[in-house]
Structure 1
């Protein structure tokens, strides 16, 4: 097993932006997140420890959103950055989800909401600019033209350098439409996309990845471990009988705890044994080796978990091993 001392994350090209990004990005979605029992998954002290560990491994790309911990994540990142050279780090945040009750304009990507939210993000991070601003989801109430005009204004003002789209479902045509409008008007287009993608969730294979290649977009997947399924903490018997160790939603069980996915996990375990790695590391390594993927976003609750995930960057899978994992569960477009 690889120690963190052996990990030195490399830089990879972030699409056509000219920026270099860490081959594994660090996600902060658990910072300040409260559980149903009222506990905080990651408090500020733990958050800073995780950022320290990521930095020690050579990581320089920090991904957040204004709703993570209701703004706590951004404030904690800003406090952590205060003692460092801001220019050495790439910071990405996101806007979309409603932040004020009974105020429909505090949700979505209308100009009023986006401009207000970006100002608050910069205040919390205590920075003059964002390297990358994502729309967290698509807002069908705001036209693509209005969205891209608003986002271009933020770029021209210097408050944002580059634009991205974080998505749940494959919607290649929406990204393409927005970029065609931006290009026709001489506005800043989307340069990065952040879809869900892992060995189980394969919906972006095909049109979405082809669209990203066509436009030269960086692809930075979230949920690379399938909400924890690919870590190996579930077993076939308990999962399929609905008696999983953790109390999971029925939606999670239907999406992940299936016979097909456990068959895939058997192959994942076999490859992990061959390369002397954990299932989580091997699943991440598959993404790193996957054609069209720029840099997966990893997160963790503890430093030990983060160190395990970051060590995935040192794992070299053979073409045969990548193919075996790819073919263990058929994606929506056979042969891709």
Structure 2
């Protein structure tokens, strides 16, 4: 396993991390999920990402149980706050001081730990003053409940404003968690340059584009049974990529992966790790062998020819429009 610094900090994380969005507590039952976590540990993964909203807190419970007995100091555990939990009342969501303070306590209890290594704002809260959110983060850090803070899917302007307040409050703002893959590169025009300037790393999700870049979805054929595309929650993030044009282009990656001695999934993970602003690529899976395969992409240096070949193969199927960054943050906490 390769390890990289998280932002402008001394914390190292595994270049391939394990995340349990969509799977734990929903697609994958606890016993199978525990086997996946064990496979991640055996592959050298030390960084685990979750969120309180995943399966309405069940994912945190399963991850906490799966990591029980491990040396806590040898792990980096990340979680997030913003989206609704519990019954979804008016204060059960967002980045208000009330919700954040209650959420960190709930997450620590479910994860069976005294602290998380990274506590992340799961989206930007347009209804709470940023000063309130950052002060709550500072108090959580000073209470020893989180060591570092990060965000997810923030715009460059939001990143700058949050970072300025973090500096005033003297708390380590070290990461942004965006979607990023060879098919989805919207962070490249502005987010990545901004983060390089500020000393913030990317911890990216969906590096395999919800499984599309594995090549398992074939043009003109039905989606495989049990795949992400058949899951009610996961399918909404993948349907727009399941066109014959996109899938035909993805199939052109197979010989490039073979030439590098990699599976197509490994090629996809290795591609995002060629970006030196990416500290870690979050991967998931419903079977232990998927975890081991993904982890093997760490430390792989792709040739310039392969990188150019990926660009040529995917062509105009790649989403590059940086103006869409931030659209994932709801304008209202109740939407």
Q: With the length of structure 2 as denominator, give the TM-score of the two structures.
A: 0.86
Equivalence map 1:1-336=2 (5 Å): 9-34=1-26, 41-101=27-87, 103-167=89-153, 171-183=155-167, 185-238=168-221, 243-245=222-224, 255-258=240-243, 260-313=245-298, 315-327=300-312, 328-329=314-315, 332=320
Query: Whole-Å Cα distance in 2 between the matches of residues 313 and 100 of structure 1?
Result: 37
For residues 170 and 164 of structure 2, the distance between their equivalents in structure 1, rounded to whole angstroms, comes to 10
Question: 2:245 and 2:129 mapped to 1: Cα distance?
Answer: 39
Q: Cα gap change, 1:303/1:245 in structure 2, threshold over 3 Å: closer, same or farther?
A: closer
Measure the CA separation in 2 of the matches of 1:253 and 1:153: 38
The alpha carbon displacement at 1:251 in A equals: 5.5
Q: CA offsets per residue over residues 92-143 of structure 1, 9 Å max, x none?
A: 0011111233611111000000000100111111211111001111111012
For the 8 Å contact 1:220–1:294, the answer to whether it is kept is yes
Q: For residue 92 of structure 1, give the secondary structure of its aligned residue in structure 2.
A: strand
Report the Cα distance in structure 2 between the residues aligned to 1:332 and 1:66, rounded to whole angstroms.
30
Following the alignment from structure 2 to structure 1, what is the Cα–Cα distance between the partners of residues 289 and 51? 24
Q: Specify the SS of the correspondent of 2:80.
A: strand
Q: Distance in 2 between matches of 1:192 and 1:316?
A: 23
Judged with a 3 Å threshold, the aligned counterparts in structure 2 of structure 1 residues 114 and 149 are, in CA distance, closer, same or farther, namely same
Shift in alpha-carbon separation, 1:58–1:245, aligned structure 2, 3 A: closer
Q: Which moves more between the two structures, 195-204 or 170-179?
A: 170-179
Distance 2:237 2:116 in 1: 34
> In structure 2, what is the Cα distance between the partners aligned to 1:254 and 1:10?
33
RMSD of aligned residue pairs (Cα, Å): 2.2
Q: How far apart are the structure 2 equivalents of 1:252 and 1:66?
A: 20
Give the 3-state SS of the residue equivalent to 1:191 in structure 2. Answer: strand
Q: If the length of structure 1 is used for normalisation, what is the TM-score?
A: 0.86
SS of match in other structure, 2:267: helix
In structure 2, the residue corresponding to 1:226 is in which secondary structure? coil
Which structure 2 segments of 5+ residues have no match? Answer: 323-335
Between the two proteins, the alignment pairs up a number of residues equal to 313
Whether contact under 8 Å (2:94, 2:125) holds in the other structure is yes
